[in-house]
């Protein structure tokens, strides 16, 4: 009798543990966040979301440190279930993030992925070339810098004396990096 109840309850506990352990954003902020807002709606109707908590992510475009705060300009990218930014090809624009912490430009360098949770603080207009670009401004509560991806380089070699019209086909050898 107890094993049947345990077997029914176990998947629920596993699912709950999995869902709570997936995000890099704390539970307190996640509970306050407006999760169903699209970036396009946030960009076009920023005034409706001022003061509300959002979770956004993307790729760092630039970092600027000032005496009182640091500012990141981020190219938005959609987030997956673990709040990890997806491809920058799916970006809907840029947004600014401000924080009172010092952000080292060597760590927060151009192209790094970042996830931000914070309150919408209005809009900001920045010059990108000669174009005045208006974007949402976020006051950061939490900032997560993702590790750089590690790529493995595989080398494929084949013997050039084997041809397809003989009995020996191309022989590919898979060598790991030395």
Range in 30-34, 85-89, 142-146, 161-165 with the lowest mean pLDDT: 161-165
CATH of domain 24-145: 2.40.50.140
Q: Give the mean model confidence (pLDDT) for residues 78-97.
A: 92
> What letter would DSSP give residue 119?
E
Q: Which of 60, 151, 71, 58 is nearest to 107 (CA)?
A: 60
The three-state secondary structure class of 78 is coil
Whether pLDDT at 178 is above 50: no
Distance CA 174, CA 149 (A): 22
Q: Which of 53-67, 88-102, 103-117, 148-162 has the lowest mean pLDDT?
A: 148-162
**Residue 24 confidence (pLDDT):** 83
What does pTM read for this prediction? 0.72
Hey, where are the domains in the chain?
A: 24-145
- d(CA 104, CA 63) in angstroms, rounded, equals 8
Instruction: Assess whether pLDDT exceeds 50 at residue 97.
Output: yes
> What pLDDT score does 35 carry?
77
- Cβ atoms of residues 141 and 53 within 8 Å: yes
pLDDT digit string, tens, across residues 24-59: 888 888 888 887 789 999 999 999 999 999 999 999
On average, the pLDDT of the chain sits at 81
The region of weakest confidence among 73-82, 83-92, 159-168 is 159-168
Residue 113: strand pairing partners: 59
């Amino acid at each position: 009798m107890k094993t049947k109840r345990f077997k029914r309850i176990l998947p629920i506990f596993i699912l709950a543990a999995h869902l709570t352990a997936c995000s890099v954003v704390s539970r307190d902020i996640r509970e306050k966040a407006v999760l169903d807002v699209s970036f396009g709606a946030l960009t076009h109707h920023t005034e409706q979301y001022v003061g509300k908590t959002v979770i956004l992510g993307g790729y760092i475009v630039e970092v600027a440190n000032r005496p009182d705060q640091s500012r990141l300009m981020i190219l938005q990218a959609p987030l997956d279930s673990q709040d990890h930014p997806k491809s920058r090809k799916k970006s809907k624009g840029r947004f600014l993030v401000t924080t009172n912490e010092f952000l080292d430009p060597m760590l927060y360098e151009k192209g790094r992925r970042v996830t931000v949770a914070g309150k919408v603080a209005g809009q900001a207009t920045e010059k990108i070339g000669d174009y005045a670009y208006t974007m949402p401004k976020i006051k950061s509560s939490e900032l997560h810098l993702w590790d750089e991806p590690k790529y493995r380089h595989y080398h494929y070699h084949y013997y050039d004396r084997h041809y397809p019209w003989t009995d020996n086909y191309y022989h590919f050898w898979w060598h790991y990096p030395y």
